[in-house]
Structure 1
Amino acid sequence: MLPIIWLIWSSFKPTLELLSHPYPPKNFTYINFVNAFYMMDFTKSFINTIIITLSVVPATLIISALIAYPFAVHEFRGKTFFTIFLISGILVPSQVIFIPLFMLLKTIGLVNTLLGVILPQIANGIPLGFLVFVSFFRGVLREVIEAARIDGSSELEILVRIVIPLSKPAFIFIGIFKGVLTWSEFTIPLIVLYDRTLYPLTLSMQVFKQQYAGVYWAEMFAGLTLNILPMLVIYGLFSSKFIRGITLGAVKG
């Protein structure tokens, strides 16, 4: 927590005090946040980041759950092969796919669009979501699923009404984990976007740093604080369930 605490209290320092000592501020000031808000065009970047995050996280959860359910409760030919194939996506370094990703997005006309940023991040999250959900879904009693089938429930109804409610820790874990990664994603927006009106917070921070490097340090710290604050709040609210999702997944796996 110390780097985060240091970042936050540095945001309230005047520039001269920030450069003179690393200790808590003696003269609190809020002007850094006001300046950063307007200099970074924070409102537009924040909206873009919200759109990307709220598109990526639910889509990743839904698609991963739909893929994981048949692997967890059914036996079929090629199951082992397809399981290894899906999980192997975790092992692929992101740097390997940048050039083919850009060429693919350019071919289908998604360069410099928010959709071009959203779709690759959904794909990146599916392998981990699949791995976690399969582990949790296997923990649901088969007797309960079979009883629901006898009562005439479809597989989708079983997933929505029985399996998902019993796997809430997994959804919270993947949701927070993928949300933090999406919120802080820098590389994919960098290679896809060139219109500054579409920039998320991470790119706006980089542009701000390049334009005002060595001058507006206090404003840069304030911008970083504004950037990480939503994720800190969300993690603080759901931290216990996040940790529970990790531990239960480890035990069930």
Structure 2
Amino acid sequence: MIPWLHGSRDRLPDPSLALPHDSEAPGLLAAGGELTPQRLAEAYGKGVFPWYGADQPVLWWSPDPRMVMFVDEFRLTRSLRKTVRRFARTPDCEVRIDGDFRAVITACAQAPREGQSGTWIVPEMIDAYCRWHALGATHSVETWMNGELVGGLYLVNIGRMVFGESMFARRTDASKIAFAALVCFCRAQGVSLIDCQQRTGHLASLGGREIPRSEFERALSVRNSARPIDDWSYDAAMWDLLDRPTDPTDQDPGP
């Protein structure tokens, strides 16, 4: 039986107690509770995240293995490089960070997903992450063309750890451009690891891979306690980092 969280005083269990890979819900750790910024901070600090449907209670997950993206392993294909370079050179095309967080998370909730008839980004989750955004913990990386938001992603940040959540695109490759911008931003800020939670073919195509939960937790504990990112803005000069790995002299403590 997984534990039920009755209130804010109930703590999340140790992630090692999540249901095993051969169970009906591998990675499920707990259920119940409320989506408050305090609960979300506790969860992400342990590598736990909420994922549930409209007719379900809040479900808390810690999968094993864990899908991650080591920033220096980002797979920049020739076609994506051309797309990004063309975007960067085009007037009225720009990347913004936190231009309209609510619009981004709402668009992610509405984006169709292969094999899914609904969304796990339910209204309660949108409101909770927007409240957390007001406290500076969540951010959006946005692709804008001619003054229109055409793609983007949202993420959680604790210390020097970035947790990627979801993406959307209204134009071809708009979400990939936003992800490439996130990689450049992470390189500029000395962040070498992006959590991707669960494996998808799309993330694997960009260079994401699975690692054991124990390895993820070791990396997480060091990064969570590192100096936080204090400048959440995107400078076009960051595109120059697209083909370069993270500077080995940066602040990130490594895997």
Q: TM over 0.5, yes or no?
A: no
Structure with greater helix percent: 1
Q: Give the number of the structure whose alpha-carbon radius of gyration is greater.
A: 1
TM-score by length of 1: 0.29
TM-score by length of structure 2 reads 0.28
Structure that is richer in strand per residue: 2
**RCO comparison, higher one (Cα < 8 Å, 6+):** 1
